[in-house]
Amino acid sequence: MPSWIGAVILPLLGLLLSLPAGADVKARSCGEVRQAYGAKGFSLADIPYQEIAGEHLRICPQEYTCCTTEMEDKLSQQSKLEFENLVEETSHFVRTTFVSRHKKFDEFFRELLENAEKSLNDMFVRTYGMLYMQNSEVFQDLFTELKRYYTGGNVNLEEMLNDFWARLLERMFQLINPQYHFSEDYLECVSKYTDQLKPFGDVPRKLKIQVTRAFIAARTFVQGLTVGREVANRVSKVSPTPGCIRALMKMLYCPYCRGLPTVRPCNNYCLNVMKGCLANQADLDTEWNLFIDAMLLVAERLEGPFNIESVMDPIDVKISEAIMNMQENSMQVSAKVFQGCGQPKPAPALRSARSAPENFNTRFRPYNPEERPTTAAGTSLDRLVTDIKEKLKLSKKVWSALPYTICKDESVTAGTSNEEECWNGHSKARYLPEIMNDGLTNQINNPEVDVDITRPDTFIRQQIMALRVMTNKLKNAYNGNDVNFQDTSDESSGSGSGSGCMDDVCPTEFEFVTTEAPAMDPDRREVDSSAAQRGHSLLSWSLTCIVLALQRLCR
């Protein structure tokens, strides 16, 4: 054999003998890995052209590898970032649902209140003119307090509504008795007769039930959307543990180190990694589902008996009906008040010559629920509720479903149909371990992620507590009760299944109920009953004629 042949062949034989068993020249190339690594935005200076010994690797199998220590560190950080993005993207639907629907409901309720106040003001200015404008702060204060309650203010709705009717009685009592002068003490005595005499008929009682329940439901529902939004935003921003990061690196990028950058993880392998990394999030699911169920129950109330739109749209008409009822019973109311509070002092001559205001005698046509207007954002409450109910149902079990949603993504795993040609954490082959159940305690034997089941995530536990508190509020709202102001009266607390006294159930007529007034102070002067009765008879007869005439015109 010529000497030049030996000089070529002998080094080649030595090179072949130095290769590991089963290796070939092509398998040692890191060309595919270099291309995939560079596509991630990393510098190719970190990566060798051929496989090197892997004793330096801390996470991936310590075999011949295309990864340096620097590459393993960078890919480990990359796997952490990709996992955080995957969780955020997967929970995008539930987060946007609560963000967008909270905005729509809040806009709707605020505009509904603004429209109701404007409607009442326009109607009363047109009908009662200067008399209303001189007393408009009574009505403005009503809407100010309703808005304050809706936005979270510490307002007792029942007390506030009682105060409104008491103040309205004081103002009207002066208007229907202009021949007298009333001191502050006397007017305070008058207001005490609001419940006994029922001068406004049954309107205050019915309206109190309707307003309190509707506002409690509306405010609590929007608060629920706020809590859902905050919890979803917080939980979707995960902070993986060191054990989780190691498992993610092994699943997502150890194929790179083994020279298999195009081989994706097995589906079941992915599930075990995600169940270990998202164990605490899965524990949120039970309380989250209870919260969603409570939201759906209150949504049903908003559609039906606690519909704030059907309460606020005709509130101007209902208050006007109450005022008319007071006028029709002005003689009896005044006589009872004079009996209980004493004979007031006569007003100066100029004032006493005036009679009861004639422009306080207009009755409005009945409100028709079918004429419900479109308000905020070009929609109605029914349409908003129908939409949110569909979205809420889809958001149930969202946290325990995260691993399944992530692992069925074709960009993450090889899918369920390719169980043989996938990465199992060691090589390209079937993944054999069983899939873990959901939740922290079930990860005690997770083969992929080191999970300390004795240390629940305190942050997740805070979210569970926030959901629990909100669910309790929602359950109370469903029953017509405010957590801050529990109603103990038989009138409006209810059993939770009833709708209160709604217009389609309760009688619409207004009945004047005479109640015995407290005994008159013996030091007060006796009323000249005959003079007072003659004056009131004339006034009542005049008012009745005007009302009947207007009713005929309205027909």
pLDDT at residue 197 tops 60: yes
What is the CB neighbour count within 10 angstroms for residue 201? 20
Nearest Cα residue to 233 out of 91, 86, 406, 396: 91
Distance CA 492, CA 506 (A): 14
For range 190-213, the mean pLDDT: 91
The pLDDT of residue 485 is 55
Distance CA 343, CA 159 (A): 29
pLDDT at residue 165 tops 70: yes
CA neighbours within 13 Å on the CB side: how many for 152?
5
Question: Residue 415 contacts by C-beta under 8 Å, 6 or more apart in sequence?
Answer: 267, 408
Q: How confident is the model at residue 417 (pLDDT cuts 50, 70, 90)?
A: confident
For range 226-242, the mean pLDDT: 95
What tokens appear for 374 in the block?
A: 């479109």
For range 358-382, the mean pLDDT: 53
Distance CA 290, CA 269 (A): 31
For range 15-20, the mean pLDDT: 41
> Regarding predicted confidence, which is higher, 26 or 491?
26
Instruction: Phi first, then psi: give them for residue 450, nearest 5 degrees.
Output: -75, 110
According to DSSP, the residues that pair with 180 across neighbouring strands are: 346
Distance CA 385, CA 376 (A): 14
The pLDDT of residue 194 is 82
Give the total residue count for the chain: 555
Distance CA 459, CA 453 (A): 15
What tokens appear for 118 in the block?
A: 């404007």
Distance CA 9, CA 25 (A): 16
pLDDT at residue 535 tops 60: no
Question: Residue 452 contacts by C-beta under 8 Å, 6 or more apart in sequence?
Answer: none
b/e burial code for range 320-343 (CB count within 10 A of at least 16 → b): bbbbbbbbbbbbebbbbbbbbbbe
pLDDT at residue 520 tops 80: no
The pLDDT of residue 513 is 31
pLDDT at residue 376 tops 90: no
Which residue is it, tokens 């217009």?
A: 503
The pLDDT of residue 349 is 63
Of 117-126, 262-271, 488-497, minimum mean pLDDT range: 488-497
Helices (H) and strands (E) counted in the chain, each on its own, are: 23, 2
pLDDT at residue 69 tops 80: yes
Q: How confident is the model at residue 495 (pLDDT cuts 50, 70, 90)?
A: very low
Q: How confident is the model at residue 464 (pLDDT cuts 50, 70, 90)?
A: very high
For range 523-543, the mean pLDDT: 40
For range 486-500, the mean pLDDT: 36
pLDDT at residue 497 tops 70: no
The pLDDT of residue 298 is 97
- For residue 368, with 0-12 CB atoms within 10 Å meaning exposed, 13-18 middle and 19 or more buried, which class applies? exposed
Full-model pTM: 0.77
- Read off the pLDDT of residues 303-315 as tens digits, 9 standing for 90 and up: 998 999 999 999 9
Q: How far apart, in Å, do the first and last CA atoms of the chain sit?
A: 127
Q: How confident is the model at residue 537 (pLDDT cuts 50, 70, 90)?
A: very low
Of 115-124, 360-369, 388-397, minimum mean pLDDT range: 360-369
Q: How confident is the model at residue 353 (pLDDT cuts 50, 70, 90)?
A: very low
What tokens appear for 313 in the block?
A: 């749209």
Distance CA 516, CA 414 (A): 84
Nearest Cα residue to 260 out of 428, 87, 86: 428
The pLDDT of residue 390 is 95
Amino acid (1-letter code) at residue 482: D
Mean pLDDT of the chain: 81
